[in-house]
């Protein structure tokens, strides 16, 4: 089932214009900052938000002309929206029943789905008796019960604590692998997107700013938002061979390019010194320390000056260098860790 859509939604102060194509069995994640339009896009696909233009086809057949309840979709919401008065089994059987499937058959299918998500023993449980992870799995089973051709998921793991999330994420990945329809999921979380999706579509201000496999997007971010998401320092510059001019600085990079490029390097590749370092082919600049914060086992130093950059260094290095906000330091990054690609 190939999904092809152009989603147009206009609101005062906001415009969504998104072109989307999802192949059978493919999982596409819509990623973007708050207010980018991810949920609006998902709701437009579901028929819950009216479009001001565009079209949606599933295997060539128009879907945007159908009312929400007639669209061949399954939906998993962030807070699951399970019916509180129905058992897990009846929550799952509800959709097929609405499609006219007999009660016995709907319950048989629901039981098989419960088994598939590892909850065969919880058929009679009401949603309030289920843990977050169990409720998430019931919500997924309910979405799949209507045999959807398109599965839509809005922040499907956001309500879970970190530990459960880890477990449910890998289970969800397996279930999505078994699903032969198209899947579109919305997430804030880069890890969810990287693990679950075959392809990422990054939206900012209602339009696509970057698209590609998780690896492509992570290696070559094209906006500040994506760079922060994947933890890279990112700049625009002008390349002339292995050298790239970024503002007033000249960077030596591993690549040979000409014209407008992006330059990226990880915070962990940035070393800090109290006095100007010399030696090996390094890019060196003087920076001010804007802030210092814990970052996992390391310390993230926010640098300003000619470049805004992050440097990840060890707590020992912070102590050795006696770093404090407001100070000036020398920052350096090796040419071999500085990557350029066409902008
Ligand atoms: N029901 C609504 N009525 C009017 N404006 C809305 C409505 N829902 C969202 N908006 C606005 O539309 C824009 C897109 O919102 P949307 O919820 O789609 O973004 P999002 O990317 O899903 O953000 P978040 O990650 O915060 O959920 C925002 O400017 C938002 O304020």
Q: Residue 292: which CATH number?
A: 2.40.50.100
CA distance 75 to 44: 12
Q: Quick check: 6 and 54 in contact, CB under 8 A? A: yes
Q: Calculate how far, in angstroms, residue 198's C-alpha sits from the geometric centre of ligand 1.
A: 25
Beta bridge partners of 237: 261
Atom from ligand 1 closest to the CA of residue 32: 21
Q: What percent of the chain has pLDDT above 90?
A: 72
Whether residue 95 is found in the same domain as residue 166: yes
Mutate to test the pocket of ligand 1, among 8, 14, 15 (most ligand atoms within 8 A of CB): 14
Same-domain check for residues 209 and 292: no
The interface predicted TM-score of the complex, written ipTM, equals 0.92
Ligand 1 atom showing the smallest separation from residue 13 Cα: 29
Residues 263 and 332 in one domain: yes
Cβ 330 vs Cβ 290: under 8 Å: no
CATH of the domain at 36: 3.40.50.300
Same domain, 18 and 80: yes
Last residue of a domain, one of 198, 227, 256: 227
Same domain flag for 197 and 53: yes
- pLDDT value, residue 281: 62
Q: Compute, in degrees rounded to 10, the torsion defined by CA atoms 49, 98, 149, 169.
A: 80
| 294 and 210 within one domain | no
Q: 180 and 91, same structural domain?
A: yes
Q: 156-180 in b/e burial notation, b at 16+ Cβ within 10 A?
A: bbebbeeebbeebbeebeebbeebe
The total number of structural domains in the chain stands at: 2
> Probe ligand 1: pick from 8, 32, 40, max atoms within 8 Å of CB?
40
Please give the structure tokens belonging to residue 95.
């959709």
Q: Which atom of ligand 1 is nearest to the CA of 39?
A: 22
N-term to C-term CA, the chain: 34
Ligand 1 contacts (CB < 6 A) are: 11, 14, 32, 34-40, 188
Q: Are residues 222 and 246 both part of a single domain?
A: no
What pLDDT is stored for residue 1 in this prediction? 62
CB atoms within 10 A of CB 130: 20
Q: How many residues does the chain have?
A: 343
Q: How far is the CA of 37 from the centre of ligand 1 (A)?
A: 6
Span 121-173, pLDDT tens digits: 999 999 999 999 999 999 999 999 999 999 999 999 988 888 888 888 888 99
Distance 30 CA to ligand 1 centre (A): 14
Of 185, 201, 227, which residue constitutes the final position of a domain?
A: 227
SS3 87: coil
Cα of 81 vs centre of ligand 1, distance in Å, is 19
Question: Phi/psi class of residue 322: alpha, beta or left (left: φ > 0; alpha: ψ in -120 to 50)?
Answer: left
Same domain, 40 and 129: yes
**Could you tell me where the DSSP H helices lie in 222-329?**
224-230, 315-321
**What pLDDT is recorded for position 62?**
95
- Residue with CA nearest ligand 1 atom 11: 35
Examine the fold and report which residue of 192, 227, 262 is the final residue of a domain before the chain moves on: 227
As a whole number of angstroms, the distance between CA 246 and CA 268 comes to: 20
Please give the mean pLDDT across all residues of the chain.
Answer: 92
94 vs 110: CA distance, rounded Å: 9
User: Which of 143, 130, 145 shows the shortest CA–CA distance to 93?
Assistant: 145
In tens, the pLDDT along 165-209 reads 888 888 899 899 999 999 999 998 888 888 899 999 999 999 999
Mind giving me the DSSP string for 268-283?
Answer: GG-EEESS---SSSEE
Range of the domain at 21: 3-227
Q: What is the pTM of this model?
A: 0.84
Ligand 1 atom, smallest distance to 37 CA: 18
> Does 39 lie in the same domain as 107?
yes
Same domain, 45 and 192: yes
Same domain, 253 and 218: no
């Amino acid at each position: 089932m190939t999904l092809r859509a152009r989603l147009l939604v206009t609101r005062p102060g906001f415009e969504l214009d998104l072109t989307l194509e999802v192949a059978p069995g493919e999982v596409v994640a819509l990623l973007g900052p708050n207010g980018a339009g991810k949920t609006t896009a998902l709701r437009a696909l579901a028929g819950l938000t009216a479009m001001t233009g565009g079209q949606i086809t599933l295997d060539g057949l128009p879907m945007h002309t159908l009312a929400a309840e007639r669209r061949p979709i399954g939906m998993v919401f962030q807070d699951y929206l399970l019916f509180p008065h129905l058992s897990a089994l009846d929550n799952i059987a509800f959709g097929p029943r609405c499609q006219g499937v007999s009660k016995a058959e709907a319950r048989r299918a629901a039981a098989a789905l419960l088994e598939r998500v590892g909850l065969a023993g919880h058929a009679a449980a009401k949603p309030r008796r289920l843990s977050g992870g169990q409720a998430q799995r019931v919500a997924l089973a309910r979405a799949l019960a209507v045999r959807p051709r398109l599965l839509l998921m809005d922040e499907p793991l956001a309500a879970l604590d970190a530990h459960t999330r880890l477990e449910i994420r890998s289970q969800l990945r397996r279930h999505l692998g078994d699903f032969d329809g198209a899947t579109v999921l919305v997430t804030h979380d880069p890890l969810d997107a990287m693990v679950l999706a075959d392809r990422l579509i990054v939206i900012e201000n209602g339009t696509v700013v970057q698209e590609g496999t998780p690896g492509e997007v992570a290696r070559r971010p094209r906006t500040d938002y994506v760079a922060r998401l994947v933890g890279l320092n990112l700049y625009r510059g002008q390349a002339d061979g292995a050298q790239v001019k970024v503002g007033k600085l000249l960077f030596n990079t591993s690549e040979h390019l000409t014209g407008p490029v992006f330059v990226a390097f990880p915070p962990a590749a940035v070393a800090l010194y109290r006095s100007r370092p010399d030696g090996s082919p390094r890019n060196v600049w003087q920076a001010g320390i804007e802030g210092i914060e814990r970052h996992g086992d390391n310390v993230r130093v926010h640098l300003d000056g000619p470049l805004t950059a992050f440097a990840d260094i060890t707590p020992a290095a912070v102590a050795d260098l006696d770093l404090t906000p407001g100070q000036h330091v020398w920052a350096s990054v090796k040419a071999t860790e500085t990557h350029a690609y066409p902008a």
